[in-house]
Amino acid sequence: MEKRSPDDSYRHVLKYTGVFGGVQGLKMFVSLLRNKLTAKLLGEAGMGLNKRFINVSEVINAWTNFGISFYAVQRISEIYEEGTEDDMHRFVGVIRTWSVWSAILGGLLCFFLASWLNGYYFPMGEQHSLEIKLLSLFVASLPIEAVECAILKGLRRLRTVALIEVCSAFSTLLFTIPVYYFFGFRGIVASLVLCGWATALIHLFFSVRIYRYRVQLFSHSVLREGWPLVRIGIPYVLAGVVGAMAAGEVYKRLGSDSVIGLYGVGYSLVVTYAGMVFKALETDFFPRLSSINHDTPRLNHAINQQIDICVLLITPIMIVFAMFMPQFISLLYDSRFLPAVPMSQCAVFYMFFKAITTPIAYTSLAKGDSWLYLIMETVYDVVFVLMIGVSYGLWGLTGTGIALSASALFDLLMIGGVYAMCYHFRMRAKTLLHIIPQGILLVFVMLASLFAFWPIKILVGTICLALSLILSWRLLSPELPIVQKIKRRLGMKD
């Protein structure tokens, strides 16, 4: 195994944030075309139905994935740093064996519980049992994909992961649109199955070139070796179940597929598209954090550094989204989804707060304190569902955006306080000085986007965007390779 020395610089964080941000940008372009065509072919109700089926698969996968893929990243990262090639071969075989059993169990559970799942997730008397049985094939693909991706992440093959993201985006476009065109609503589950296995096979194509695919389904020693990983992952599994069920409860409170479709579009615009900034957290930050989890000063430094990067990158994106949300929805989806605009504008602070919370929240996982992670996730999910229910009852769809931002603020305060006590996390004054001005600018833009006339909104938004970019540039520009090259050409010193 070729090992690299750890790099804790802003340049390293920006490098991999840039790699995956660029990939996510390309994925966004592909999604633009896919979502536009999907919105035309399925409308709000079809997209809401798609959300329900995905939620069913998430719940079943959460119950049966054993948390293997997440903790596999941590363990592979440790072997990569300190172990041998034989250790790695052995462990890869163990987690692949468990992933196959997870796929079999998830698929069978989804198939045989189809009638019950139909009654629970479609309480209005709709009959989708046959489609849920077909969905079992999609469920079976998820643990295979997750474990192969975990292998690549743990080995720090981040450029390969980025390439896979691109290939998967194009395969999703290739399989989704023709199926929707010919079969409409009836093709939703079929497209999920095709896309799921296409993505799994793409991951396998790259990972088996590093470690040959080998499983031992009935080897007692292999199953016994993987059991401690499963036992450690139980809280993570439960957290995933609670999160997936919370999403299901939200959909049940929203009611119709049309409202769910509007909520899904608003959520995707704020969370999924802007979430490209966080891709580096999964792929690079977590393995780095795991490797220094016993060194509190370095841990604090890495977390604060990641918060700086996330906040300074996410705020300009949120400002642009808040200013031009109607145009984004019309461009990415369809004018029928414009009722989701106020909701999305109210939800911009969801990602701002998540930019602060997410790097901190990885601490318990990096340290292996999965039960604390479960408690934090459960409390957040309960508060989130309650806030959605109350806000939707008071202010309709716009209220769900308010609830998203309010729940994210609650999560930040809760995790910040608890982890300060448990892990001695401290936010640097320098980091606070990066957060506060950006937050104030975002407040002005959100208020202007909601209440001001178009010329005033553009004026306020442009000024705030310029100030946000200037603040971000002052910290990040010295670490950008292109800036360093220009300085060297001009004979300037750092």
Which residue in 202, 445, 485 sits closest to 345, CA to CA? 445
What tokens were used for 173?
């476009």
- Give pLDDT tens digits along the chain (494 positions): 555 444 455 555 555 554 444 555 566 667 667 777 787 888 878 888 888 899 899 899 988 988 888 778 878 877 887 878 888 999 999 999 999 999 999 999 999 999 998 888 886 667 889 999 999 999 999 999 999 999 998 887 877 887 888 888 888 888 888 998 888 888 999 999 999 999 999 999 999 999 999 999 999 998 888 888 777 777 878 888 888 888 888 888 887 788 888 888 888 778 766 666 666 555 567 667 766 777 888 888 888 988 988 898 889 989 998 999 888 888 778 788 889 899 999 999 999 999 999 889 888 877 878 788 889 999 999 999 999 999 999 999 999 999 999 999 999 999 999 999 999 899 999 899 889 999 999 999 999 999 888 889 999 999 999 999 998 887 766 655 444 544 455 454 54
Residue 361: which residues within 8 A CB-CB, separation 6 or more? 373, 376, 415, 419
- CA dist 235 → 70, 378, 426 (Å): 12, 10, 26
How many Cβ atoms are within 10 Å of 246's Cβ, its own excluded? Answer: 20
Residue 117: which residues within 8 A CB-CB, separation 6 or more? 56, 60, 110, 129, 132
Please answer whether residues 419 and 299 qualify as being in contact, where contact means their C-beta atoms are separated by less than 8 angstroms. Answer: no
Burial class (CB in 10 A: 0-12, 13-18, 19+), 97: buried
Residue 285: which residues within 8 A CB-CB, separation 6 or more? 13, 302, 306, 359, 362
Burial class (CB in 10 A: 0-12, 13-18, 19+), 214: exposed
- State the pLDDT at residue 283: 58
- State the pLDDT at residue 4: 47
What span, in angstroms and rounded, lies between the C-alpha atoms of 240 and 63?
Answer: 8
Residue at token pair 């643990």: 143
- Reported residue count of the chain is 494
What tokens were used for 22?
């660029």
Runs of H (alpha helix) within 255-285: 257-267, 279-280
Residue at token pair 């506060």: 436
Residue at token pair 């179940």: 241
Q: Which amino acid, residue 281?
A: L
